[in-house]
Amino acid sequence: MIEISKKAQSVIHQMIMEKDIADLFLRVGVEDGGCSGLSYTIKMDDLLTEEDEILPTETFNIVWDKRSFDFLDGVKIDYQNQGMTGGFTIDNPNAKATCGCGASFRTANYKGSRKKCD
């Protein structure tokens, strides 16, 4: 299960409302890449596929593809204010190693395909 903090839900809900697109949701996923081997993908989307799983929240849906779930099970997404800016944080109990910026990781069972971070 993916857990999302109230603060992160509030920020995401505001972002979705600003887009003003019907049925917009938060898509979370994992793909090969990044300096540790696997990278998170987080974006707004409005197209579902047959491979998608849906987790409703009070104000929007969180969607992920079935392949990503093993890497995302137990993930906690939060939003933290940092000075004059803020950002999303991901706490992933499946990650056994992460890169310095926190954008990529690897698990004990899968190392992914390492690529230089942008």
pTM equals 0.83
Q: pLDDT digits over 42-63, tens only?
A: 999 999 999 999 999 989 999 9
Q: Kind of pairing, strands 76-82 and 85-91?
A: antiparallel
Q: Is 55 exposed, middle or buried (0-12, 13-18, 19+ CB in 10 A)?
A: middle
The dihedrals phi and psi of 15, each to the nearest 5 degrees, come to: -60, -40
Closest CA to 107 of 39, 53, 27: 39
Mean pLDDT over the full length of the chain: 87
pLDDT confidence of residue 12: 95
Tokens representing 3 are 């857990």
Q: pLDDT digits over 87-118, tens only?
A: 888 899 988 888 776 667 878 776 666 666 55
State the first-to-last Cα distance of the chain, in angstroms, to the nearest integer: 29
Q: What structural domains and CATH numbers belong to the chain?
A: 3-19+26-106 (2.60.300.12)
